[in-house]
Amino acid sequence: MITPAAPGATAPHSIKRRQITGFSNPTVKFIRSLRDKKHRKREGKFLAEGLRLLTDALESGRVPETLIMAERREAHPLLAALESAVAAAGGEVIETSADILAKIIGKSNPQAVAGVFDQFDTSLAAFDREAAPIWLVAQALRDPGNLGTMLRTGDALGAGGLILLDDCADPFSVEAVRASMGAVFTQRLVQAQWDEFQPWLRGERGQLVAASLRDAVPYRGAPYTAPCFVMVGNESQGLPEAYEAACDLRVTMPMRGRADSLNAAVAAAVLGYEVLATFDSRK
Amino acid sequence: MITPAAPGATAPHSIKRRQITGFSNPTVKFIRSLRDKKHRKREGKFLAEGLRLLTDALESGRVPETLIMAERREAHPLLAALESAVAAAGGEVIETSADILAKIIGKSNPQAVAGVFDQFDTSLAAFDREAAPIWLVAQALRDPGNLGTMLRTGDALGAGGLILLDDCADPFSVEAVRASMGAVFTQRLVQAQWDEFQPWLRGERGQLVAASLRDAVPYRGAPYTAPCFVMVGNESQGLPEAYEAACDLRVTMPMRGRADSLNAAVAAAVLGYEVLATFDSRK
């Protein structure tokens, strides 16, 4: 049963909510446009959907600049907390019809809520490799679900973040953000070309590791050292040979069946957990 | 450049190819209907797309009963091998326009080829647990990509197959088959309700293992024994408490970040590789 929210039921009285009633409202159009990569890039914003994801963002210190929700919805303490945080940060809280919200988020759900965030600085210069013992690296990763899953795995591993090399899926797409299960707000995101990454990597200490079939040692018990950069390649092509050759350590994982590779996000996870176990065993 | 296949260029002269020119042809409608779960179930058939996947099938001893391809295409030795195998098995080879093929496979690709297969027997009674040391088990897994990825991981692990408990995504969907990268043809597939699986499991030896936060030991170095059934739960709910309680072994994996779980296919892989390493170390 859906109970219309009484005024003030889900947020302090002081919070102003802007009502939007028209499909052609520019704010509605703007938020909706963030489903599209070109618009996200131009605006430097992205969209995260769902109370759980937005709560993860808040708990990670990320407050949306705009919060949009349906005018008839059940009250929820987490939503009230979100509203308060957005208002306190000078953001805007928007109420609209379930129909208009459905147009924005692409599905009908009267409990839906979405937030607009600024994209993060994803430059190589902006992060400190010594902040974590493990970093995940993906080259030309095309599937946003794999990308989000790698972020989620990185969070679980205690990795510092995910470095996206060359032409990867957009980490700020709705699909990648969703698959990250909130890790897009906790993991560092870096975007770089290989030609920038290589000199950056070699400027300080850091071990580049990849699964490979050539000139490799067993992944189990390999001499991993921190900060360790665990790299996986494109879903259908794998890593370019030159990238494998540039690694400090090439490892093999058992392949007992017909296939000669794992899903990219799976390979990163199996390898990442091995690195973590190695580091833990030395403590 | 696309060169129209000369007669006999891609297959021996003896192979008869049926030409289909109409969108409303019943065979076209039938093949297209296999994109839909209801029809797949009723017909007991499924569709696999792409030369690589069909070649994997062939090399695993699975021949489609119907092969359908575009009438203007490049000759390819693997396609010729497929045609020969289908013809030798008494199946049908169909040629049609790129437009009609695009209607069937849902995207435009003049090199496309698709095959219709009989679904496999997925009953508990039909498989031998002693055939492999590891089996993957998924409960209420909803995402066909995760399901296919688990099949692919199982192949790499040398697992025997994937046991799908309760209401899972359809393993014969085009998405699951594609994500399996051919492993749907090499891994055993089993579908069962928990109430059938439990007594079956306990009828012979077998260790049921799951990742759990309750009453668990570290996954690293846990006392795994073959045949080991590695179980993961639904993407958003995880495993029901009763299922966890029924496990012989509950293990924890490090969760160093905010999240308290991994993607289901990732968890199965990390755990599965640990089990494999444990068994290998005892050899």
Say if the Cβ atoms of A259 and B179 lie within 8 Å: no
Q: Which two tokens stand for residue B246?
A: 């029924």
Per-residue pLDDT tens digits for B139-164: 999 999 999 999 999 999 999 999 99
Optimal mutation site among B273, B274, B279, B283, interface A, most CBs of chain A within 10 A: B273
A36 vs chain B: nearest CA distance in angstroms? Answer: 21
Question: Residue B57: its chain A contacts at CB < 8 A?
Answer: none
Q: What pLDDT tens digit does each residue of chain A (283 aa) get? A: 334 444 444 445 578 899 998 889 999 999 999 999 999 999 999 999 999 999 999 999 999 999 999 888 888 999 999 999 999 999 999 999 988 998 888 877 767 899 999 999 999 998 899 999 999 999 999 999 999 999 999 999 999 999 999 999 999 999 999 999 999 999 999 999 999 999 999 999 999 999 998 889 999 999 999 999 999 999 999 999 999 999 999 999 999 999 889 999 999 999 999 999 999 999 8
* In the predicted structure, residue B9 carries a pLDDT above the cut 50: no
Q: What is the pLDDT, as a whole number, of residue A259?
A: 86
In this prediction, residue A12 carries a pLDDT of 52
Q: Above pLDDT 90, what percent of chain B?
A: 82
Residues in chain A closer than 8 A to B60 (CB atoms): 258
Residue B132 — φ and ψ, nearest 5°?
-150, 155
Express each pLDDT in B244-275 by its tens digit. 999 999 999 999 999 889 999 999 999 999 99
Q: Which ranges constitute the DSSP H helices of chain B? A: 26-33, 37-43, 51-59, 77-88, 98-105, 144-157, 174-179, 194-203, 241-245, 264-281
More confident call, B91 vs B2: B91
Q: Nearest Cα to A135, choosing from A230, A199, A224? A: A230
State residue B167's pLDDT score.
97
- Ordered DSSP codes for B78-139: HHHHHHHHHHHTT-EEEEE-HHHHHHHHSS--TT-EEEEEEPP---GGG--GGG-SEEEEEE
Of the candidates A179, A181, A276, the beta carbon closest to that of B254 is on A276
Tokens 């690293």 identify what position? B220
How far does the CA of residue B158 sit from the closest CA of chain A (Å)? 5
* Closest by Cβ to B269, choosing from A220, A257, A270: A270
The complex scores an ipTM of 0.91
pLDDT recorded at residue A13: 54
pLDDT for residue B8: 42
Asked if A181 lies within 8 A of B60 by C-beta distance, the reply is no
In a mutagenesis test of the B interface, which of A270, A271, A274, A280 is the best target, namely the one with the most B β-carbons within 10 Å? A270
Q: What is the reported pLDDT for A1?
A: 36
Nearest C-alpha in A relative to B149: A263
Question: What pLDDT, on the 0 to 100 scale, is given for residue B1?
Answer: 36
Domains along the sequence of chain B with CATH: 17-118 (3.30.1330.30), 124-281 (3.40.1280.10)
State the first-to-last Cα distance of chain A, in angstroms, to the nearest integer. 53
Contacts of A149 in chain B (CB under 8 A): 263, 266
Residue B196 above 60 pLDDT?
A: yes
Decide if B153 and A262 are in contact by the 8 Å CB cutoff: yes
